[in-house]
Structure 1
Amino acid sequence: MQITRSSIDTAKGPADWFTGDVYIDAVAAAGPPSRLTANLVHFMPGARTHWHRHPLSQTVFVTEGVGLCQRRGGPVEVIRPGDRVLFEADEEHWHGAAPNRLMVHLALNESDADHAVVHWLDPVTDDEYAAAPPTA
């Protein structure tokens, strides 16, 4: 057993990965041979990731608030606490908070043999984001 006391500051999500205010808390980053990372990601209302893809898939588990997600070419989906979303390997997608609600999720990722976890793409446009169904 290993207990790691919380000593890593919350990080502000960089503008080249996110639109709006996003904050990231590291949860797990085990050393080799493990390739798993986990982050608790806090999206303020209206904040979202850019389009991106993961070489070995991604699972997000919503813990708080109301969020939105979309795979490229699919409809925007509403996600709520307890919902688990699996984005398949190399599936282009985005996720974030609803316009009027914050959203927190646990993001689980695995790096590939080249240590890549995510490939960032273009920002989600306001028109793409506005295509979400009502969240009430």
Structure 2
Amino acid sequence: MEITRSRPDSRPGPAEHFTGTVWLDELAAPPAPSRLRMFSVHFAPGARTAWHRHPHGQVLYVTEGTGLVQRRGGPVEEIRAGDTVWTPAGTWHWHGAAPGTFMTHLAVVEAAADGTTTEWGCLVDDARPE
């Protein structure tokens, strides 16, 4: 067993992957053979990810606020504190805060054998999210 009492500093979400103000906190990246990665992601009102997908899917657990999620071809759906979202492997999707509120979620992914956790696509268009 290992207890980690410190972690890397919070870092801003890069503009090529996020619209608006987003902060990322890496919570867990255990050594091999584990490929688990866990982040706490803090979205300012209206901030969101670009379209993206994960090689082994993704679990989101909303810890505070109200957000929005959409899978390609599906409706935009509201998520709230206490909700868990499972996105299957290879599914293009985006998620972020609703326009009037902050939203924080825990994001859990499994890296591929090459270490890749996310394939990024284009930013989400305000006029037409899909």
Name the TM-score class by shorter chain: over 0.9
* Equivalent in the alignment of 1:30: 30
After TM superposition, which residue ranges in structure 1, 4 or more long, deviate above 3 angstroms?
Answer: none
* Equivalent in the alignment of 1:42: 42
Is the CA contact 2:7–2:27 (under 8 Å) kept in the aligned structure 1?
A: no
Is the CA contact 2:60–2:85 (under 8 Å) kept in the aligned structure 1?
A: yes
Query: How many residues are treated as equivalent by the alignment?
Result: 130
- Secondary structure of 2:128's match? helix
**Unaligned 5+ runs, structure 1:** 132-136
User: What do you get for the CA RMSD once the two structures are aligned?
Assistant: 1.1
Q: TM-score, normalised by structure 2?
A: 0.96
* Equivalent in the alignment of 2:65: 65
Write the letter of the residue equivalent to 2:3: I
Q: Deviations over 1:74-129 (max 9, x none)?
A: 00000001100011100000000000000000000001112110000000000135
- Secondary structure of 2:127's match? helix
**Unaligned 5+ runs, structure 2:** none
Equivalent-residue separation in structure 2 for 1:12 and 1:108 (angstroms): 18
- Secondary structure of 1:45's match? coil
Equivalent-residue separation in structure 2 for 1:127 and 1:78 (angstroms): 18
